[in-house]
Amino acid sequence: MNLLLEFPVAASLAACILQFGSAWKALGKGRRAVATDADGDLPGVSILKPLKGVDDRLLDNLESFCRLDYPRYEIVFCVQGTSDPALRVARRVKETHPEREIVIVVGDSQEGLNPKVNNMMPGYAAARYPFVLISDSNVAPAPGYLREAMSHFRDPSVGLVSHLVRGTGAKTLGARLENQHLNTYILPSISLLDRMFGMPCVVGKSMLMRRADLDAMGGLASVKDYLAEDYVLGEMFRKAGKKVVISGSPVDNVNVYRTPRQFLSRHARWNRMRFSIAGAGYFAELFTNPVGLSLLMVAAAPGDAEAWTVACGIAAAKMGMDYGMQRMLGDRSSPGWVLLGPIRDVLAGGLWFSAFFSQNVEWRGRTFRVTRGSRLVPVGEAPEMEPTAEAAR
């Protein structure tokens, strides 16, 4: 076998074991979390829901927020333009749940380059409670989600609370690839970075913060030109001396009908984003894909039976960890789906290299170049002389 590749393969498998252990501890802590604040002590929360088109099970996702066990909160549905079909779904939720404070804000903000932030800005201006929760349209939480999230603010030094994300609901191959990647790579990676390296990675699916803190840092306008607005927000809070908490109580990201092409396109964009943020640190991700590295070892010596044996053993070990992660997250689908794991790992390995071939991303019909810190620049336009991401934080 190639000795130059044996060590990286072994290190990669060890990294996966550390990821698995970190996720196990984080999820265990999340299950033990108890929020016992009396209703009178809990401040009001404005939940911003940026909507764009009709996501999988959109009605069910939005209605799940009407069943939260929390005394005072409003739901602010944000839609860009009256022609968006999501507007009809939002109106139906409001009609079906008159007991809830629901506000629908139809805006047309084009202040920034990030369409999600543009969508939320009019809703943010209309929100009236002292805490703001940003939650994507494909998220479906448990009833105790908001109470648990708010419990972290018992510590006055906490500035932002995000959550681990669990992919659920897959009925197509692309959706299964997406959910398995979320559950067996993204979630464990976030757990490892947070628990072992003290690097909380904020996920935009769930971000809870005091409005006063965010306003003091420039509000949503401060992240309007970034692809990774969630990462930038987390860095802003951290540099302001506020703690960023990653809760081990996962929220569900519902992916039901997705194509393999959508999976590939989405994660190619994410890789370019992570490369723009991490720089040379992006190379560390090579050590989180032992299946891909073991295949490189086989490619270097295709006739070496020992290399093939090691590659098969690595694939079996990784499938075992994937299966364990799915069970920890409550996925009771057929164990046969775990066989998809090595295929997904090979695809993910190929996508990793895509970050080096292009800085451009397609997002909602527009093409952007992703520059340092995930700052967006429209293709064909020179970047304006604005403060850097570091200064903006």
Residues recognised as catalytic: 230
Amino acid at 162: S
Around Cβ 278, how many Cβ atoms within 10 Å? 13
Q: Which residues pair with 80 in a beta bridge?
A: 107
Rounded CA gap, 307 and 158, in Å?
49
Give, in order, the Cα–Cα distances in Å from 45 to each of 24, 146, 237. Answer: 30, 9, 19
Around Cβ 85, how many Cβ atoms within 10 Å? 12
What are residue 63's phi and psi, to 5 degrees?
A: -70, -25
Around Cβ 362, how many Cβ atoms within 10 Å? 12
Crossing angle for the helix pair 305-328 and 340-354, to the nearest 10 degrees? 100
SS3 labels along 288-352: HCHHHHHHHHHHHCCCCHHHHHHHHHHHHHHHHHHHHHHHHCCCCCCHHHHHHHHHHHHHHHHHH
48 with 117: CB under 8 angstroms?
A: no
Structure tokens at 116: 């999600």
